[in-house]
Structure 1
């Protein structure tokens, strides 16, 4: 039996899994690392933490799996998008990575909009938002010029990790699409954008397909992990592209709901001529010559983990959500908006912050938990509504991540989205997508579609309950009003956050 490894470099932890040719997960390990948040709106990580913890996770995986490492043929990667890693001429890290959920770059986004105008959407298919990479590059250029002038190349998080394992520098199209520097349709770095902002071409790494072979393990990494140095390494993709692959979103008609630290509503697309007016993201897929449309809630699972860390540190997530099904729809008249670090879709707003609306002294912890879960799902529904308004027909959705681990939440998704929700057997999210890219790269299959038939199985479905759908439609209209009512208040409060 042959095997591949999927490495998912997330925001809070790196997860590695070993899959065999049947698509069975034989072993998995995870190691976490901290966020660095010096100020409100700042979010960074030390890239060295990714490398150390990944090597440790791989070592533990190899030790646990007890398979012949000569039979582990390939490794591929999924990674948190947008994060900026700057390397000097010796390929040493210049500063901490600035992450996707960092919102310091509002001025740079305004500059990009002003300078590029309508050309931005024509080239990149996406608006200028604080989370993207180009604003981060410009922020460093303007605020840390001595560091910027040392930079010889920029990478995204998983690309830096892969470089440290192989010594080779590349970036795949699906992750590059989230930089605001890629010409998405023509699949090349935009000379117009680089020239306009005086970014040297050499700062942009070589582009490759997600299933492309990019090298072998360095001998010292092989020694540290116990893997064979001849193990083939493949480029991999952005976490959302890999999440789509790992859920089998490879044809039109089926959507994806992924609830991790952030939350994503995603749909497969092949027609690059559709105009979404920048209201949702349009990125290159991990599948060659395909795209995906995506809406993002910045604080999805993060909202629930924040609640746990703040109010229920002694309890597990399972304990926190255990009695949510006993709380009525609407959490007894309380709504939560998940804007803990601002919002992405449909409100590109770095200033807005979260709210509980309708609290009274009768509310108990379980009511708050249900309110948080409903608020996250309402936020995701805003993206789904825009997809449907644009003519994308989605009646069936696959749910992955934290939102797929609780049946009450899965039914909530079916009712709020008014769609059938499918749960995967042994769902592994982006890590499975990375493993599938490695399997394709190793030649086990001729296409990702063929691979998905072997690797992906549906285990459970949830149908919308009409009475619930109607109640949630009423609540959703109130939920949408909360943003409009609190936007001005949060702008006034901004001065007090630092």
Structure 2
């Protein structure tokens, strides 16, 4: 009897990760990523960030072949495929379904002014009351930038889509999107529960440019013969789940009910809390989107805090300052030898484009208080980790002011959350417990596929294989110590923001 496997892809900006799960036990069979080094983000102009969508697809193919080559079990059937993807990106295709230009990805800042103008002209009341967000530098604003600045490309557009929609297209040959995806692009009106005609009319977008909408958990198409040949698996496998990386990260941690909270600290850092209320921040420093299980009868939404400059800062230190001479584990060891506060060295970690939590200001990354006679690489690394933790605290305070009650945060045991220094700084800066689980985005996508194909009879059944591996609790003394440091850090940040 063949084994039933679920295949999940996590299409990030640094790599493509693939995981195979045993559908019956929920246990991970194998997980791989491609490329071995991080994918390049092109920045032809300061503040821009672009990637080639076909580059993502190439690494989906490589990752799939890599994972199949590692399997010992040969008697198996992949019964469904799920997709997680980097949010807010813009992919444009022509009538032949060919990509028209590089994708404008999540950390690109070029459309900020377009979004700010739209926020005022559509009216803050409409944007926040109906779309729950300012257009900011999200997908709608990026599409408007192309319309204004590259009309020859805009005129050839057949459909716009998000990064995960494009991977689904490559798998199935079908063009579609989801309500969750449209809401993250600020195309969705939560009051009418439909496409925002006001947003379309304001920007002058033809409704025909919007892909057909499919449910997040559903048969969204089946693997074509040509895609199957590229991947090395059978044709006809259904694609049954698709979600942005942060809603999907929440799903991977079983963060599905109001009050549940998830976190991640990859290239960017995110806190994602579920609510069934229309919570908004009047300054749009955090955002509210449809969650993976959103419906008219189950109006669950995710309140999302994003910090662009988290893991990318750590990667920059590793590659640029330390010239890739050390592993991330070695970097963490260096940081552990330095006392809390890094002997007066402070890091403002915002160096990856405009930061929503700072009102879409691009304040850059800064280290302050460097003493050449005191500070070494361990201090630099520790200050970076503490600065990232403080940026989470800064955003969490905004979320709490909106009415979010955050006592426990769940995260996968990946990226910065593998660092004991970062765990301690996060928990005691944010005054919240941290639960770490044996999962990641590609595993979440695989579980989502199992739900979407109907293999699991309930959400609980889908998470039988999910295990908590550690709990990090608060220390009253460290809370006080980190709070003093945070106040110094916040004062420094406030001065920079006012410049």
Please say whether Structure 1 and Structure 2 have the same fold, judged by a TM-score greater than 0.5. yes
- Partner of residue 122 from structure 1, selected from 116, 120, 129: 129
Query: What does residue 172 of structure 2 align with?
Result: 166
Report the alpha carbon displacement of residue 66 of structure 1 after superposing the two structures with TM: 4.0
Gaps of 5+ in 1: 490-498
The answer to whether structure 1 residue 403 and structure 2 residue 413 are counterparts is no
Question: Of residues 301, 310, 327 in structure 2, which corresponds to 1:316?
Answer: 327
What does residue 492 of structure 1 align with? none
Q: Secondary structure at the match of 1:6?
A: strand
Aligned match of 1:3? 5
Residue 493 of structure 1: aligned partner: none
User: Of the candidates 370, 382, 405, which is equivalent to residue 370 of structure 1?
Assistant: 382
Matched position secondary structure for 2:116: helix
Is 1:292 paired with 2:295? no
Q: Which residue of the other structure, out of 400, 412, 419, is the alignment partner of 2:425?
A: 412
The answer to whether the aligner puts 1:51 opposite 2:61 as a matched pair is: no
The 10-residue stretch of structure 1 (10-19 or 337-346) with the greater mean CA deviation from structure 2: 337-346
Q: Distance in 1 between matches of 2:42 and 2:415?
A: 23
Contact 2:112 2:360 survives alignment (8 Å): no
Matches within 5 A, 1:240-319: 240-272=246-278, 274-277=279-282, 278-289=284-295, 290-312=300-322, 313-319=324-330
Aligned positions of 1:65-464 closer than 5 A: 65-68=71-74, 71-118=77-124, 119-130=126-137, 132-184=138-190, 186-272=192-278, 274-277=279-282, 278-289=284-295, 290-312=300-322, 313-361=324-372, 362-400=374-412, 401-424=414-437, 426-428=438-440, 430-452=441-463, 454-464=464-474
1:195–1:345 distance in 2 versus 1, CA, 3 Å: closer
Partner of 2:20: 18
Output the TM-score relative to the length of structure 2: 0.93
| Superposed CA RMSD | 1.6
| TM-score between both structures, scaled by the size of structure 1 | 0.94
Relative to structure 1, the CA distance from residue 321 to residue 70 in structure 2 (aligned partners, 3 Å threshold; closer, same or farther) is closer
Cα 1:265/1:469, change in 2 over 3 Å: same
In the aligned structure 2, how far is the partner of 1:280 from the partner of 1:268?
Answer: 13
What secondary structure does 1:177 align onto?
helix
Contact 1:254 1:395 in 2 (8 A): no
Once residues 50 and 5 of structure 1 are traced to their aligned partners in structure 2, the CA distance between those partners, rounded to angstroms, is 17
The answer to whether the 8 Å contact 2:91/2:162 transfers is yes
Work out whether residues 70 and 228 of structure 1, in 8 Å CA contact, stay in contact via their aligned partners in 2.
no
Deviation at 1:363, TM superposition (A): 0.7
Cα-to-partner distance string for 1:124-170 (whole Å, 9 max, x where unaligned): 1112322x111111111111111111111101111101101110111
Contact 2:107 2:354 in 1 (8 A): no
Determine if contact 1:342/1:353 at 8 Å carries over to the other structure.
yes
Aligned length: 484
The answer as to whether partners of 1:341 and 1:350 remain within 8 angstroms in 2 is: no
Gaps of 5+ in 2: none
Q: Distance in 2 between matches of 1:79 and 1:176?
A: 14
Aligned-residue offset at 1:479: 1.5
CA contact (8 A) 1:345 1:382 kept: no
